[in-house]
Structure 1
């Protein structure tokens, strides 16, 4: 099974550097172009389904990708919604990161809970699409920390409209790409 995590395309809040979280902010035109670019990155792999978070920016990105791949848009999974930043949503992200470098934002959903929620969503996707290759359109924070937990691979940031793919084998999950860049194993270096 291969999963391609794609961070939704850009929104005005992304462009303006605002904490977005679970707020339902739509894509902007740059975000739509990023979704089309992500779809082009996926054309070399065989995909069986495209699913997403229910937030509009993820659904629209997923619809653009599904259309480009000639697949129907699959379900939205509430477990894939971005981290809830509570009262900090909409505030400048650089200011919040400077004030809270450990990302323990007051009133925000704990990161461990975000990852557990994503893993539950992945289990549902696996049950709905057993042993199939699935494109999952969701959000930066949930992707970053879930990828770190699953693979142990260091991930600095997840960029809008990029593909971060992982593959499950007998030993667990292996990173194929982060932000569209292939990851080489120690043997390949």
Structure 2
């Protein structure tokens, strides 16, 4: 089974580098165009299902892709909601965003908790879809930049850089574990040392 972890299209908060997190912000017109372009990239392949985070920016991205591919929109998984930035949501980060709460980010969700949610979500998707679709299924999963980044980092055991809006990141369940095949549509082997040092400040926090 392969999962394509797709970051939602752009929102106005993305455009202005505002922390979105669990805030339910809609796509802007650029984000909708990005979703249509993502669907074109996915179109050559056969898809068993498309699922998403329940937040509207992810759900609408999934709806656009589903309509383009002619497949039914599947379940929304609460575990896929973006990292919670709590009182900092809507603001622009001017310092590095920490893994754990600190004096500048006193109530953000710890990185480990986000990664655990991401790993639990892909396991849940795997376990719920395998009986329906079998080992060879391709499932599109639309969610958010930081949860994708932290989940991929946990799987790889190393830091993963910025996740682009509407980019696909492919993982495969094989030999009893997840294998990361691509990040931002690029084969993972070619990105082994390519870590964007700015990702903890701006870019994929939503």
TM-score by length of 2: 0.83
Q: 2:151 aligns with which of 146, 150, 161?
A: 146
1:56 corresponds in structure 2 to 56
Q: Distance in 2 between matches of 1:101 and 1:36?
A: 31
Q: Which residue of structure 1 lines up, in the alignment, with residue 10 of structure 2? A: 10
Deviations 1:125-167 (A, max 9, x none): 1122113321100000000000111133541110111011111
Deviation at 1:91, TM superposition (A): 0.4
The aligned length equals 182
Structure 1 residues 55 and 12: alpha-carbon distance in aligned structure 2, compared to 1, 3 A threshold: same
Residue 171 of structure 1: how far off its partner (Å): 5.9
| 1:29-59 per-position Cα deviation (integer Å, ceiling 9, x unaligned) | 0000111111112123321110000000000
1:41–1:163: 8 Å Cα contact kept in structure 2? no
CA distance in 1, matches of 2:98, 2:11: 25
SS at match of 1:184: helix
Q: Which moved more, 1:176-185 or 1:62-71?
A: 176-185
Q: 1:39 to 1:101 in 2, by over 3 A?
A: same
Instruction: Give the Cα separation in 2 of the matches to 1:185 and 1:20.
Output: 30
| Distance verdict in 2 for CA 1:153–1:134, change over 3 Å | farther
Compute the RMSD of aligned alpha carbons: 1.7
> For structure 1, which runs of at least 5 residues remain unmatched after alignment?
none
2:160 is aligned to 155
Give unmatched runs, 5+ long, in structure 2: 192-206
Structure 1 residue aligned with 2:80: 80
TM alignment of 1:21-170, pairs within 5 A = 21-93=21-93, 95=94, 98=95, 100-104=96-100, 105-130=105-130, 131=135, 132-152=137-157, 154-170=159-175
TM-score by length of 1: 0.90
Is the contact made by 2:35 and 2:65 (CA closer than 8 Å) also made in structure 1? Answer: yes
Contact 1:62–1:137 (Cα < 8 Å) also in 2: yes
The 1:109/1:151 distance shift into structure 2, 3 A limit, reads same
Distance 1:118 1:46, change over 3 A: same
